[in-house]
Structure 1
Amino acid sequence: MKFSTRFHIDGFVLSIIVVAVAASLFPASGTGATVLDRATKIAIALLFVLYGARLHPREALEGLKHWRLHSVVFAATFVLFPLIGLALRILVPSVLTEELYTGVLYMCLVPSTVQSSIAFTSIARGNVAGAIVSASASNLLGVFVTPVLVILLMNTTGDVHVDAASIVDIVVQLLIPFAVGQLIRPRVAGIMQKYAEPTKFVDRGSILLVVYAAFSAGMVEHAWDGLAARDIAALVLVCCLVLALVMGTTVFAGRALGFSLPDRIVIVFCGSKKSLATGLPMAAVLFAGQPIGLIVLPLMVFHQIQLMVCAALAQRYARRPESVAVPSSPDPASSAG
């Protein structure tokens, strides 16, 4: 702790780096990978039970009605990102190889993350109800929109099939636990307020599990093999550029459109991310019969960068004065932050 304070390193960001390094050195495989996958799913389900228990049903309903907020998030995910991906074609072959550019373009077409977007919104004391609707709907919509965008903007071989299991997973892992949390809220609301601080470990712990699982899977798949150091450095810089462009645009759009600070937090965190959990299995379907290691590598790199940047940004938002976070009605996420 003293080290991170002295060198101005956020403790949560440092934890993410440590977990990523640990996954690189000791990746989970076989039975270990199966256990890790189940533990991650359980942590995510518990996270959404807590979100449901924190939010008053009235606030959740208001989140559903906030169509302007969700429209901006969808536009960032499925319009802004693809346009940036197409524009980056000018970097081939001087900066990016043809194979890496294909992966960058695919990265720009996948849906937003769900659990980390909502977790960071909660940590930042943003509009959690709005984030749950925006992130979940974006991920569900992406199951249909991403294959269409891939067909229109990329060359694929074979038939494109979207597995209905993707929709089932979102319902079972996210929406049902949230509904359970809403049902038990009257009984646990007092306990949640009393032990608000310990529940933060669930937010952060779920993200760390996702980081470990993602990096571990990449090492097992040998995603980094065969790449020169220059190619990796160029890819990291391009991913940083894409994230900076999207985050800058979402910050500007949130202010220009007159959204409150809690809503602007949702736009930044839900509109600037790409889902590794959805993107990896989708790539296996869309690019069946092709080596997908390099295709998903940009998504893996971007995923790690977005987690570290958003972790630091969420902590910065969380340190703002409490009065800034409170709109006309009490913010249901304030106890999570």
Structure 2
Amino acid sequence: MNRLLARLNIDPYLLLLVGTVALASLLPARGVWAGVAGGVADVGIALLFFLHGAKLSREAIIDGARAWKLHLTTMSLTFVLFPLLGLAVKAIPGLDPSLATGVLFLTLLPSTVQSSIAFTAIAGGNVAAAVCSASFSNLAGIFLTPVLTAILITGKQGGFSTDPIIAISVQLLLPFLAGHFLSPVIGGFVTRHKQVLGYVDRGSILLVVYTAFGAAVLEGLWSRVTLSELGLIAVLSLAILTVVMAVAATIGRAMGFSREDRIVLLFCGSKKSLATGVPLAGVLFAQAQVGAIILPLMFFHQIQLMVCAVLARRFAAQAEA
């Protein structure tokens, strides 16, 4: 089964996400159980960010600062070009407002870490720079995503508020910083058991998805969203990814980056993190809104993995030739 999924460039975790959405649609958490599931999800997310902080090496931050032009260019794609494209999509008439907000929200998120590094390695890119660039993006996203969300989304709906930023600081940033400061003590343990701790990461996200979609279903999500709109979200996700990758390739050549660094720019600058986006959405939006908000992110997540897998193998073949 895993071999078949690999050939089709389908992430097995996506099947778990789809299964979780189906379960939440059929058996959403109600009453006291909804409160219990939400509380457990909050604890799991705090633990997830604690572990992310513990895995981030201070040495990687210092070493990565040397390639500041590459990292600044990557961040410009992530937090400038992407949001501009998200605003353009949100202006499309006739698109469900919740889904349009979800598309805009995904464009405000930081880059992925694991997949960006993995694809860079497969393609023969600068792996050390990819580690630094992806880590910088995630660290900046904890600050920038809430601010951009407050300005472009929640601020438009009811005036600018610092409440989301405060909530992020308490629920996500403090655990992250605590884990990072303890990294010299527990970093080795986290690295040695990263496969087991990965289950904590993914399990926490699945629990948030379950509670979020359950609340959205009870609010009538599937009566508002049509199959044609879901298809449109998939098309828009592919279009956004194509534009960003084309710009990344053009800028990489124009700035004279080496082939290895252009690969870093392409993969780190074109991705959006599901692992960071789901917890942030749970903090920044009302529970009944989160299901629709993260739906476009789930589409984009799988599309980016499929496209990047094809490109990484093509770059690897070119390098061998």
Matched, 1:76 2:81: no
Q: Give unmatched runs, 5+ long, in structure 1.
A: 285-290, 325-337
The alignment of Structure 1 onto Structure 2 pairs a total of residues equal to 293
Residues 247-286 of structure 1: pairs in structure 2 closer than 5 A? 247-254=245-252, 256-257=254-255, 258=257, 261=260, 264-265=263-264, 268-269=267-268, 271-273=270-272, 275-284=277-286
Name the CA shift for 1:179/1:173 in 2 (closer, same or farther; >3 Å): same
Q: Give unmatched runs, 5+ long, in structure 2.
A: 122-126
Tell me what 2:64 maps to: 63
Tell me what 1:227 maps to: 225
Distance 2:118 2:206 in 1: 17
Name the CA shift for 1:311/1:177 in 2 (closer, same or farther; >3 Å): farther
3-state SS, counterpart of residue 242 of structure 1: helix
Residues 1-337 of structure 1: pairs in structure 2 closer than 5 A? 1=1, 4=4, 8-10=7-9, 13-26=11-24, 29-49=34-54, 51-52=55-56, 55=57, 57-88=58-89, 91-93=92-94, 96-97=95-96, 99=97, 102-103=100-101, 106-107=104-105, 110-112=108-110, 117-124=112-119, 125=121, 126=127, 127-150=130-153, 155-162=156-163, 163-184=165-186, 188=188, 199-203=194-198, 206-207=201-202, 209-222=204-217, 223-254=221-252, 256-257=254-255, 258=257, 261=260, 264-265=263-264, 268-269=267-268, 271-273=270-272, 275-284=277-286, 293=289, 297=292, 299-312=293-306, 317=312
Percentage of pairs with the same residue = 16
Residues 278 and 294, structure 2, Cα contact 8 Å, conserved in 1: yes
Residues 44 and 173, structure 1, Cα contact 8 Å, conserved in 2: yes
Residues 49 and 176, structure 2, Cα contact 8 Å, conserved in 1: yes
Question: How far off is 1:121 after superposition?
Answer: 3.2
Question: How far off is 1:206 after superposition?
Answer: 1.9
Paired AA for residue 72 in structure 1: T
Residues 269 and 310, structure 1, Cα contact 8 Å, conserved in 2: no
3-state SS, counterpart of residue 164 of structure 1: helix
Tell me what 1:332 maps to: none
Q: What RMSD in Å do the two structures reach over aligned CA positions?
A: 3.9
Distance 1:307 1:69 in 2: 24
Tell me what 2:124 maps to: none
Distance 2:3 2:75 in 1: 40
Distance 1:276 1:260 in 2: 33
Residues 45 and 173, structure 1, Cα contact 8 Å, conserved in 2: yes
Distance 1:111 1:306 in 2: 12
Distance 2:175 2:71 in 1: 21
Residues 16 and 308, structure 1, Cα contact 8 Å, conserved in 2: yes
Name the CA shift for 1:264/1:304 in 2 (closer, same or farther; >3 Å): same
Residues 110 and 146, structure 1, Cα contact 8 Å, conserved in 2: yes
Name the CA shift for 1:171/1:88 in 2 (closer, same or farther; >3 Å): closer
TM-score with structure 1 setting the length = 0.68
Distance 1:176 1:204 in 2: 20
3-state SS, counterpart of residue 225 of structure 2: coil
Name the CA shift for 1:40/1:104 in 2 (closer, same or farther; >3 Å): closer
Paired AA for residue 139 in structure 1: I
Residues 147 and 160, structure 1, Cα contact 8 Å, conserved in 2: yes
Q: Which structure features the higher share of helix residues?
A: 2
Deviation sequence 1:275-300 (CA, Å, 0-9, x none)? 3432453344xxxxxx973x972x41
